[in-house]
Amino acid sequence: MSYEDDVRDFYVQHGFGGRNGFGKRPAVVVIDLAGSWLDPKKSQHGTTRLESVVTRTCDILAAARAAGHPVFFTTMRPDRVDVKGPIGAKLPQMRSGAANPLADQMAELDPRLERRDDEPLFNKPRASAFYGTPFDAYLNARGIDTLIITGCSTSGCVRATAESAHNRNLHGIVVRDAVGERSPIAHEANLTDIDLRYADVVDGAEVIAYLEATPAA
């Protein structure tokens, strides 16, 4: 039995692991697929393997756009994150406070995502897409009950956003093949934990079929 299977069995035995399922009003959020993760010349996050994540996210975006479902994006500018106090101790790469000449490029979304003018972009100060942004207001105004989460990193901003969605009683859906992480071990461990505690972890093919079959609001 694998580590993930062992953890899953333990949690299920103790009452975790229920399923959210899909709701009726979905939106897609793309977390931080920007230069700081994808361009090795600008990255602050170490070596990552996210090409397949970008490709699969583009598939999800194509299905959402064709069906008329809302799409949102997030990014982070490292020179605009308040890292005083204990937060700074956990983010030493951002702690200097000096302006980063590559900050704009680091925060720029990957062009393959082809973000449209009517697709909001939130510059978030923390891991969750909800923290310090108007994301809640946008979702509430559209009556969204299902949040489909793609992007990076699985153990950080994806997980934090999934937990925030769970706390807001949304149907949280993390797309297994459209999220990524610097560490394969952290990726698998967090997908297991997210699936058992916060959101359903679902393959992209199932998500695309749902988006295509669900009428837009």
Catalytic residues: 157
In order, the DSSP letters of the chain are --HHHHHHHHHHHTT--------SSEEEEEE--BHHHH-TTT-SS-----HHHHHHHHHHHHHHHHHT--EEEEE--GGGS---THHHHH-GGGTT-PPPTTHHHHHSBPGGG---TTS-EEE-SSSSTTTTSSHHHHHHHTT--EEEEEEE-IIIIIHHHHHHHHHTT-EEEEEEEEEE-S-HHHHHHHHHHHHHHTSEEE-HHHHHHHHHHSPP-
